[in-house]
Structure 1
Amino acid sequence: MQDKKKAVPVKGPEVKRTRRDRGELEDIMFKLFERQPNWTLKQLVQETDQPAQFLKEILNELCVYNKRGTNQGTYELKPEYKKSVEDTGAE
């Protein structure tokens, strides 16, 4: 009976992430979106090493969440930010 205990799923250690300054994180986000137009929340958490909830707050301001289509489940910069990024990249 004891041999048949339920195996507990092994989770990675819970890492506490510290929040960065909001302005600094926005700059990082713009640089990431220059590299790639669409990101999942999981990818962004890994790249920025920020708490997911804090990241979501900023993403709601800067990005559009794609619910359908080929980029389903990803975030994309809002059009007004895309233009400013392209302008600064061209200079």
Structure 2
Amino acid sequence: MIAVKIDEEAILRECKQRITELLKQVDADLVFWDRNELQKRTCMSWNYIQDNFFFDPRFKKKKVGGKWLFPAKEGRQFLELWLSEQPDC
């Protein structure tokens, strides 16, 4: 008879690590965000974005044709900084 022991904690750690790596890879696949992706990533409406940080000179953006594009890496960095600057309620 064969007995198999499974270290559930080790498997859970490995799964979490792999999921984190995959999420980073998916995030790294996007070079630019468009308006819809920005709204999706921030869970904010377009009006809220415009009223609160769109015109901040630190927020990198470029209009190409009629479409706004935002560099994904710089956008994420700015948004993390912007959120840290917001007062606690």
Q: TM-score range by the shorter chain?
A: 0.3 to 0.5
**Structure 2 length-normalised TM:** 0.34
User: Whose radius of gyration is greater, 1 or 2?
Assistant: 2
**Structure 1 length-normalised TM:** 0.33
Structure with greater helix share of residues:
2
